[in-house]
Chain A
Amino acid sequence: MVDLELDMRARIGRLELAKPVMTASGTFGFGEEYRSLVDLGALGAIVTKGISLRPRAGNPAPRIAETPCGMLNAVGLENPGLEAFLRDKLPGLREMGPAVVVNILGDTLEDYAALARALDGAGGVDALEVNISCPNVERGGLAFGTDPALAAEVAAAVRESTRLPVLVKLTPDVTDIAAVARAVAATGVDGLVCINTLRGMAIDPLSGRPRLGKVIGGLSGPAIRPVALRAVFEVAREVDTAVVGVGGIGCWQDAVEFLRAGAVAVQVGCATFRDPSAAVMVLRGLEDFLKGLGVRSCSQLVGAVEL
């Protein structure tokens, strides 16, 4: 009897990944930070730190605070800007093996379109992830992501400015994430990424000072996993567009939950801070689990929830 190889490919619209596990934006830098520590080639994709047209210095310290089973961050999209990214970061990323997904963030619709155009011609970029859900910047970001019509405008502007597959990362800080998902999906994007961080804060009870320099930041980690899973479930039921799950995934069991809820692939975020090889461990554990189940492909598990 022939032992058929397990098919781990994940199809996110026009983007096909060899494996269904990626790193989440903002938690893996540009890959180079982990090159000597992690078997990068095993991963499906590296999603870069968010890139803006011009360099951004980010927010004042402290930028991070530990919270129960998670963390708050208010980094504020510190990044070297498009030009330096293309010159200094992209060449290295191309050589690492996984697909390269560039996360982009603008202050205006024109910024998003300009980023999309520039990255379209750069070569070596496999897809764009549109950030309309960052809670840590004054303009753009979350302001676009909470209004279905504005979210769709950004998605359409990017979609029309590039031939690359386009993923849109959604915020959970809305009453009805399915409504935003429907509006964005209607623009014909390739995937919806659920979810970005939730807005949160913490105060030092003794000093009375907020634990973040920016006061309010984004909550991530296992603490938000049930929220992320619910968002994936609601969105996947609502749209035909592929859904990518992210939020508190730290082990293969978590990944299985998200696949069953309807995600075709997952991203591993701040679990990488605890163990640099967290994403690789998620992938290996998932492969072993699927082999044990006796299924032929990872996609068979997608949406397999017994209601």
Chain B
Amino acid sequence: MKPIRLEAELLDARAVARQMVRLRLRVGPCAIRARPGQFVMLGPLAEGMDPFLNRPFSIHRLEGPEAWELLVAEVGRGTRMLARLEPSARLPVLGPLGSGFEPPAEGELLLVGGGAGVAPLFFLAEDQLARGRRVRLFYGASSADRLVGCEALAARGARVEICTDDGSAGFGGFVTARLEQALGDGSDWLAACGPEPMLRAVTGLARRFGLAAQVSLENRMACGTGACMGCSLLLAGGPRRVCVDGPVFDAREVF
């Protein structure tokens, strides 16, 4: 669907992990027309002109027929302001924006998420589980207290492989190390979202094991609509705007 701009109602802002807040926004019937991988621009965040720019967030989950959940990592002033919003606050939203994931019609789906980058993979996982697909999520975080929503996703039928850098939960080490052990079991598609070094490593593994891979990229954005060229990346095939040419790209196009 074409993006629309609307005034969303904040249903709640709940701390779900250390410095991670989940926003539930009632946006109306357009909620169910978003595709996994798409994102929204939130803001203006304040009445005045500071912070000046709106903020991009991928859609983390559908919550009922009329609400989106967003996962907000508190990394700066803007995200701290979002985390402290009171329920029933009104928040302008522009969306849904950008491209979505395009999983194949058959086979187990491997999803690889790092940190807050796991956000859009929940939407993808739940969407695919509801269609009867097998989903396996490799979820990396710095420590156990930064993990979000693992039990709920497992309860819906996903296999969730937790990896923590400090070994405080699940596999101790990078998510890519755990992924490497598991590859070669017949899966032929994966989707990844997270820090750039992780995406680069995941792409390398996909190449080595002959998997098709899609990666969801992050970048600073001003407009979210393709107008400002602020989020363009200079890829081998030319400049590509993360907001409208992505955020989901074929991994081979990027790395």
Chain A interface (Cβ within 8 Å of chain B)?
A: 26-29, 33-34, 36-37, 49, 57-58, 60-71, 73, 75, 78, 221-222, 250, 270, 272-277
Cα of A275 to Cα of B91 in the assembled complex, Å: 12
What does the 1/0 interface line of B45-64 toward A look like (CB < 8 Å)?
00011111110000000000
Chain B residues near A61: list those with CB within 8 A. Answer: 219-220, 231-234
A33:B52 contact, CB within 8 angstroms = no
Interface segment, one of B67-75, B121-129, B222-230: B222-230
- A64 contacts B222, CB within 8 Å? yes
Q: Which residues of A contact B29 (CB under 8 A)?
A: none
Inter-chain CA distance A34–B226, complex, in Å, is 9
Q: Scoring B residues 147 to 186 as 1 if CB is less than 8 Å from chain A, else 0, what string do you get? A: 0000000000000000000000000000000000000000
Whether A58 and B229, one on each chain, are in contact in the complex, defined by CB atoms closer than 8 angstroms, is yes
Q: Give 11 new A-B contacts, CB below 8 A, not counting A27-B227, A71-B52, A277-B5.
A: A33-B226, A33-B244, A49-B227, A49-B229, A68-B50, A73-B230, A270-B52, A272-B227, A273-B222, A274-B53, A276-B5
B28 at the A interface (CB under 8 A): no
Given A37-B4, A272-B223, verify A75-B229 contact (CB < 8 Å).
Answer: yes
Q: Which of B3, B92, B222, B238 is packed against the most chain A CB atoms within 10 Å?
A: B222
Given the known inter-chain contacts A37-B4, A66-B53, A69-B52, please indicate yes or no for A78 contacting B229, CB distance below 8 A.
Answer: yes
Assuming A273-B54, A275-B92, is B226 touching A75 (CB within 8 A)? no
Q: Counting chain B CB atoms within 10 Å of each CB, which of A29, A69, A277 scores highest?
A: A29
A45 to B234, CA, bound (A): 31
- Residue pair B54, A58 in contact (C-beta under 8 Å): no
User: Are B223 and A33 in contact, CB atoms less than 8 angstroms apart?
Assistant: yes
Q: Which residues of B contact A33 (CB under 8 A)?
A: 223, 225-227, 244
Provided the pairs A29-B226, A34-B227, A273-B222 are in contact, do residues A66 and B51 lie with their beta carbons within 8 angstroms? yes
Quick check: A270 and B222 within 8 Å, CB to CB? yes
The 8 closest A-B pairs by CB, nearest first: A29-B227, A64-B230, A33-B227, A36-B2, A273-B222, A69-B49, A33-B225, A222-B49
**Which of chain B's residues has its CB closest to A29's CB?**
B227
Q: Does B103 contact A (CB under 8 A)?
A: no
B75 to nearest A CB, angstroms? Answer: 12
Is the pair A64, B225 in contact by a Cβ cutoff of 8 Å? no
Tell yes or no: B44 within 8 A of A by CB: yes
- A57's contact among B92, B94, B231, B239, by CB below 8 Å, is which? B239
Say yes or no for B117: interface residue by CB 8 A criterion.
no
> In the assembled complex, how far is the CB of residue A251 from the closest CB belonging to chain B, in whole angstroms?
10
Instruction: Give the size category of B's interface with A.
Output: 20 to 34
Q: A136 → chain B, closest Cβ, in Å?
A: 11
Most buried by A among B50, B230, B231, B233: B230
Rounded to whole angstroms, the CA-CA distance of A239 and B226 in the bound complex is: 37
29 A–B pairs (Cβ distance < 8 Å), ordered by A: A26-B229, A29-B225, A29-B228, A33-B226, A33-B244, A37-B4, A57-B234, A58-B229, A58-B239, A60-B234, A64-B230, A64-B231, A65-B220, A66-B53, A66-B78, A68-B52, A69-B48, A70-B52, A71-B222, A75-B229, A75-B232, A250-B49, A272-B223, A272-B227, A273-B228, A274-B43, A275-B92, A276-B5, A276-B225
**Residue in B closest to A66 when the chains form the complex, CB atoms:** B53
Please report the C-alpha to C-alpha distance between residue A71 and residue B50 in the assembled complex, in whole angstroms: 10
What residues on A are CB-neighbors of B228 within 8 Å? 26-27, 29, 64, 73, 75, 270, 273
| Nearest CB on A from B106, distance (A) | 35
Q: Output the nearest chain A residue to B230 by Cβ-Cβ distance.
A: A64
Complex alpha-carbon distance, A63 and B229, angstroms: 8
How distant is B9 from chain A, measured CB to nearest CB, in Å? 18
A273, B5: Cβ atoms closer than 8 Å: no
State whether A75 and B50 are in contact (beta carbons under 8 Å apart), knowing that A33-B223, A57-B239 are contacts in the complex: no
Q: Is there an interface contact between A69 and B50, defined as CB atoms closer than 8 Å? A: yes
From the candidates B43, B49, B54, name the one contacting A221 in the complex (CB within 8 A): B49
Alpha-carbon distance between A186 and B201 when the two chains are bound, in angstroms:
60
CB atoms of A73 and B5 under 8 A apart = no
- A28 CB contacts on chain B under 8 angstroms: 227
**Cβ of A78 and Cβ of B232 under 8 Å apart?**
yes
Whether B3 pairs with A36 at a CB distance below 8 angstroms is: yes
CA distance A37 to B4 in the complex (A): 6
Q: Do the beta carbons of A57 and B238 come within 8 Å of each other?
A: yes
* Pair B220/A64 contact, Cβ less than 8 Å: yes
* Alpha-carbon distance A186/B220, docked complex (angstroms): 42
Q: A37-B225, A73-B222, A270-B222 are in contact. Are A63 and B52 (CB under 8 A)?
A: no
Q: Which residues of A contact B5 (CB under 8 A)?
A: 37, 275-277
How far, in whole Å, are A276 and B225 apart by their CA atoms in the complex? 9
In the assembled complex, the CB of A103 is this many whole angstroms from the nearest CB of chain B, namely 13
Residues of A within 8 A of B233 (CB): 61
Determine whether the beta carbon of A274 is less than 8 Å from that of B227: no
A282 to chain B, nearest CB (A): 14
When the two chains form their complex, are residues A274 and B238 in contact, meaning their CB atoms are under 8 A apart?
no
Smallest CB–CB gap between B49 and chain A, Å?
4
* Nearest CB in chain B: distance from A191 CB, A: 23
